[in-house]
Amino acid sequence: MSKIIQKLKEKKLKGRSGSCFPTGKKWEIIKAKKAKDKYIICNGTEGEPNVFKDKYILENYPEEVINGIKIAIDEISAKKAYIYLNKEYYKKFKDNLNKIIGDYPIELFQTKEKYIAGEETAACNTIEGKRTEAREKPPYPTEIGLWNSPTLINNIETFYFVSQIAKDKYEGTKFYCVAGEVDNKKVIELPLNLTIKEVLAKTNNLPPFDFFVQVGGGAAGEVLLDSELNHKIKGLGSVIVYNKNKTDLYDFLKEKINFFHQENCNHCTPCREGLYRIKKMIDNKKINKDILNDLFFAIEKTSRCPLGKTVMIPIKSALNKLNK
């Protein structure tokens, strides 16, 4: 086992995109592949509303991100790496990133303006110049990714921590993003496995009013009440605070379903038709729970990509906890 892969495993680094797949294991799988070409995608689409941790990292630690990508190129013998950025980040960071890249085979790539563009197989399609939509899995990108070749896909935060681990500077931390109705919107690096309450307290953001939070993203995140602050924050480390007394349930639901309805790729029937049906119920404020649960079941079990599998999380949790 190589030194860096051994370190990634020892430190138990997991992907910071929300999937939480063990980074060392993913690298090991691709390193072992017998293939003419291998590729890397550093995913910086960050499409969840009110989440900006990758932006913070690119503003403050771009050298560390590029160093992590270079380590990966050398380790898996990749032909080329792509830094896959949304339109805002591409425009803001391209000049500085290109200076840091130097002679390494790393190319910046601007994504399409769709949330689904951040899904790993949709990223492969977009870079190849195809329609931005998810592929059926398996096979996974570690087997067949860019141009039918094994492809390593990690996000910006993951590559940052790869660099830290390679330098023996990693101290078991992650980046947390706090937004919404708070005084101190910020990104902060703190220890892993903190609770919601601990993150809000450490950022001086514990509200003096009745509130609820959406944890894990501004679209797909779960709604939790202020009585559930001892839940640990896993996956995407975001906490968005809402004033419970000032938030209309249907306005909240409309915001979420409109996002998913607009940002899905419209390829598979479950998402295309199911999200439309859910949107109409919410727009009309006439929710039939039996029909809604049937739609959730169909979308979750038969959609091609994670968008369909997560759409029920914010809507169902909001209806269960805020509709009192």
Q: Does 8 share its domain with 143?
A: yes
DSSP string spanning 199-245?
Answer: HHHHTT---SS-EEEEES-TTTPEEEETT-TTSBP-SS-EEEEEETT
Last residue of a domain, one of 113, 137, 166: 166
Query: Model confidence at 178, in pLDDT bands (50, 70, 90)?
Result: very high
Residue 323 in this model has a pLDDT that exceeds 80: no
SS3 label, residue 182: coil
Q: Of the residues 243, 270, 293, which one is the last residue of a structural domain?
A: 243
Do 189 and 301 lie in one domain? The reply is no
CATH number of the CATH domain containing 298: 1.20.1440.230
Q: Are residues 133 and 29 in the same domain?
A: yes
Rounded (5°) CA angle 225-221-15: 125
CATH number at residue 214: 3.10.20.600
Is-contact 247 305, C-beta < 8 A? Answer: no
| Euclidean distance between CA atoms 223 and 316, whole angstroms | 9
pTM of the entire predicted model: 0.94
Note whether 23 and 140 are same-domain residues: yes
Q: How far is CA 9 from the centre of its chain?
A: 22
Query: 76: domain CATH number?
Result: 3.40.50.11540
Give yes or no: residues 177 and 130 share one domain. Answer: no
- Return the H-helix or E-strand segment holding 154: strand 151-155
Number of domains in the chain: 3
Beta bridge partners of 151: 39
Of the listed ranges 4-13, 163-172, 226-235, the one predicted with least confidence: 226-235
Q: Quick one: 237 and 254 in the same domain?
A: no
Question: Is the pLDDT score of 172 beyond 70?
Answer: yes
- Provide the domain limits for residue 156: 3-166
Confidence of residue 309 (pLDDT cuts 50, 70, 90): confident
Confidence of residue 245 (pLDDT cuts 50, 70, 90): very high
Q: Are residues 161 and 179 in the same domain?
A: no
The residue type found at 27 is: W
- Residues 237 and 280 grouped into a single domain: no
Answer yes or no: do 111 and 140 share one domain.
yes
Q: Are 11 and 148 in the same domain?
A: yes
Which H/E stretch holds residue 164?
helix 156-166
Confidence of residue 318 (pLDDT cuts 50, 70, 90): very high
235 has a pLDDT exceeding 80: no
Do 213 and 305 share a domain, yes or no? no
64 and 108 fall within a common domain? yes
- Per-residue confidence (pLDDT) for residue 1, from 0 to 100: 63
Q: CA-CA distance, 139 to 121, in Å (whole number)? A: 10
Residue finishing a domain among 102, 134, 166: 166
Q: What spatial distance separates the first Cα and last Cα of the chain, rounded to whole Å?
A: 55
DSSP-assigned letters across all residues of 265-324:
-S-SHHHHHHHHHHHHHHHTT---HHHHHHHHHHHHHH-SSHHHHHTHHHHHHHHHHH--
Torsion of CA 52, 237, 57, 47, to 10 degrees: -40
Residue 35 CB partners (closer than 8 Å, separation 6+): 149, 150
pLDDT over 90 for what percent of the chain? Answer: 76
Q: What's the pLDDT score for residue 324?
A: 62
CA distance 42 to 93: 14
